[in-house]
Amino acid sequence: MLRATGDGVTLAVRAQPGAKRTAILGIYGDGAGAQLKIAVRAPALEGRANQALINFLAETFSIARSSVALTAGELSRSKIFLLRGVALADANAVLTGDGNR
């Protein structure tokens, strides 16, 4: 789900657009193919759900929106985001609730 890169970390996400509210729902799948399941309020039209995910991830990881990049899955529910400047340990801490950056 999380992988360290030279620029930060990548995060595998399973999007659920058109939800009542934007929130992390849990883990989708298991093992190496596990993804963070995120419900987003925005519909999957004209990139609105992708933009909502970028905004949500930036807020969740306390980074600028410009530091979040969609690197794969623009038209799919399965997506990969690059979180620039985020250390793997910090990302794990945010997702497990052990603290913020």
pLDDT digits (tens, 9 = 90+) for 70-93: 999 999 999 999 999 999 999 999
Ramachandran class of 56: left when φ > 0, alpha when ψ lies in -120 to 50, beta otherwise: alpha
101: in domain = no
Q: In Å, how far are 26, 27, 45, 47 from 96, measured between CA atoms? A: 11, 12, 31, 28
Provide the residue range defining the domain that includes 69: 2-96
pLDDT classification of 99: cutoffs 50, 70, 90: low
**27 — phi, psi (to 5°)?**
-105, 135
How many residues in the chain?
101
What is the CATH classification number for the domain harbouring 8? 3.30.1200.10
89: in domain = yes
Number of domains in the chain: 1
54: in domain = yes
Q: For 10-57, how does the pLDDT look when each residue is reduced to its tens digit (9 = 90+)?
A: 999 999 999 999 999 999 999 889 999 999 999 999 999 999 999 999
